[in-house]
């Protein structure tokens, strides 16, 4: 299959379940963002259900879950909650659902670490978190007003996650989870988040891809405040290339937008897009510039504060990749802001 083809399912309405493969149900949850929904999947485990991703920790999400639990799960319990990764739209309601259903949480070790960072924003480590984040934003070239606004966003995000269970079960690369009569293989990828888990059923020919492969939009790959020197784009590109080993006719169930076929075509498209952007960034560095100046050149539109954070993190991911390849160089200017330029 040489093109991305949307699977011919109607989109389930709010609080409805749609079977997209035997024993695999699709549930949409609302999100109060530009991207206004997340897809969750519920897997039939014969005497109960396994939930993959949970939605935000807010009242809208909890209301949908209450409806689903009360009327759509045939009176069978949720036995397990699996998270692809710890971004807020996936993990927010997880702690609540685990408690509500008395179900264990399954998550990779890397995502567990990320999850706990949400609680640093307003917890005992809040001063340390604020200092690290502000210094990071300053180095990107943000002014104080932008930086203060983004700190407010961090605080807002941290209110959308329920406390997690103290004990969790660890998802590991290549481990196999038996659900119903099916085996689901865990495939861990890095770059979009610390250790993102996809689930693959060879028997069904289905990949639950989380945010690792989306049909149209490209997942954000950002350098984060706590790891300013990281090179997430390198591991991201490797992760995308590895998924090409899956069969060409795999049905991909993404966390956003619609299920699709054409996994390899989508992966090739994503890899090409990233390499094009890297070239564009390298060329932009013919004039010395800060990360924020680069974001202005690359995104060419007015960015909200949240988009500015994503754009800054993503531009730095491109620059750190080019730094590692010795295609650009960087220094801190007198104001303590990073400046990138092409190597002489
Ligand atoms: Zn994500």
CA of 219 to the centre of ligand 1 (A): 7
- In three-state secondary structure terms, 225 is coil
Q: pLDDT tens-digit profile of 186-226?
A: 999 999 999 999 999 999 999 999 999 999 999 999 999 99
Cα 85 to ligand 1 centroid, rounded to whole Å? 7
321 domain-assigned: no
Distance between CA 227 and CA 132 in Å, rounded?
Answer: 10
**How close is the Cα of 35 to the center of ligand 1, in Å?**
12
- Is 195 within a domain? yes
Tens of pLDDT, residues 39-61: 999 999 999 999 999 999 999 99
Tally of domains within the chain: 1
Neighbours of 150 (CB within 10 A): 21
C-alpha 336 – ligand 1 centre gap (Å): 30
Helix (H) or strand (E) holding 71: helix 59-71
246 neighbors 31 (Cβ within 8 angstroms)? no
CATH number at residue 258: 3.60.15.10
47, part of any domain: yes
Residue 333 lies in a domain: no
Question: How far does residue 99's CA lie from ligand 1's centre (Å)?
Answer: 23
Residue 167: give the domain boundaries: 5-262
Query: Does some domain include residue 295?
Result: no
Is residue 286 assigned to a domain?
A: no
pLDDT at 39: 98
Q: How far is ligand 1, taken at its centre, from the CA of residue 243, in Å?
A: 17
CA of 29 to the centre of ligand 1 (A): 15
Evaluate whether residue 269 is within a structural domain.
Answer: no
CA 311 to ligand 1 center in whole angstroms: 15
List of the chain residues with pLDDT < 50 = none
Query: What letter does residue 235 receive in the DSSP assignment?
Result: H
Neighbours of ion ligand 1 (CB under 5 A): 87, 211
Residue 273 lies in a domain: no
Q: What is the pTM of this model?
A: 0.96
């Amino acid at each position: 299959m040489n093109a991305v083809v949307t699977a011919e399912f109607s989109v389930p309405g709010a609080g409805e379940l749609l079977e997209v493969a035997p024993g695999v149900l699709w549930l949409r949850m609302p999100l109060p963002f530009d991207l206004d929904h997340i897809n969750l999947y519920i897997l039939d485990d014969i005497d109960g259900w396994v939930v993959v991703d949970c939605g935000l920790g807010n009242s809208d999400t909890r209301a949908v879950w209450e409806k689903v639990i009360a009327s759509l799960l045939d009176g069978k319990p949720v036995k397990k909650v699996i998270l692809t990764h710890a971004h807020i739209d996936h993990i927010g309601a997880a702690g609540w659902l685990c408690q509500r259903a008395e179900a264990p949480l399954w998550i990779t070790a890397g995502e567990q670490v990320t999850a706990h960072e949400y609680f640093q924003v307003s917890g005992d480590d809040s001063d340390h978190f604020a200092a690290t984040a502000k210094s990071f934003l300053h180095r990107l070239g943000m002014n104080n007003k932008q930086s203060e606004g983004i700190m407010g966003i961090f605080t807002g995000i941290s209110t959308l996650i329920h406390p997690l269970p103290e004990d969790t079960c660890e998802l590991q690369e290549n481990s196999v989870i038996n659900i119903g009569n099916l085996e689901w293989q865990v495939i861990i990828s890095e770059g979009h988040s610390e250790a993102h888990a996809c689930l693959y059923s060879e028997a069904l020919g289905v990949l639950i891809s989380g945010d690792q492969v989306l049909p149209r939009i490209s997942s954000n790959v950002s350098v984060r405040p706590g790891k300013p020197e990281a090179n997430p784009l390198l591991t991201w590109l490797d992760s995308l290339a590895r998924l090409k080993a899956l069969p060409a006719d795999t049905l991909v169930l993404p966390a956003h937008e619609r299920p699709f076929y054409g996994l390899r075509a989508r992966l090739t498209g994503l890899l090409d897009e990233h390499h094009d952007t890297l070239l564009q960034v390298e060329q932009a560095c013919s004039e010395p510039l800060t990360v924020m100046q680069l974001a202005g050149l690359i995104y060419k539109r007015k960015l909200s504060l949240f988009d500015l954070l994503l754009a800054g993190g993503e531009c730095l991911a491109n620059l750190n990749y080019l730094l590692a390849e010795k295609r650009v160089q960087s220094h801190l200017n007198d104001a303590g802001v990073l400046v990138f330029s092409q190597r002489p």
